[in-house]
Amino acid sequence: MTTLILSMQENFAHGAGTKNASGPDFSTFWESWPRKTAKKAAERAWARLSKRDQRAALEAMPKHVAFWRATQTGPQFVPHPATWLNGARWEDEVVIPEKPQARAVATGPAWWTSHVLMEAKAREVGLGIARPGETSDQYRARIQQALAERDRFGSAA
| Average pLDDT value for the chain | 80
User: What is the band of 14 on the pLDDT scale with cuts at 50, 70, 90?
Assistant: very low
User: What is the band of 103 on the pLDDT scale with cuts at 50, 70, 90?
Assistant: low
Helices (H) and strands (E) in the chain, counts: 7, 0
Does residue 16 have a pLDDT over 90? Answer: no
The answer to which of 15-19, 49-53, 54-58 has the lowest mean pLDDT is: 15-19
pLDDT tens readout for residues 139-154 = 999 999 988 888 887 7
Query: Helices (DSSP H) in the chain: which residue ranges?
Result: 8-13, 26-32, 39-48, 51-70, 81-86, 115-124, 136-153
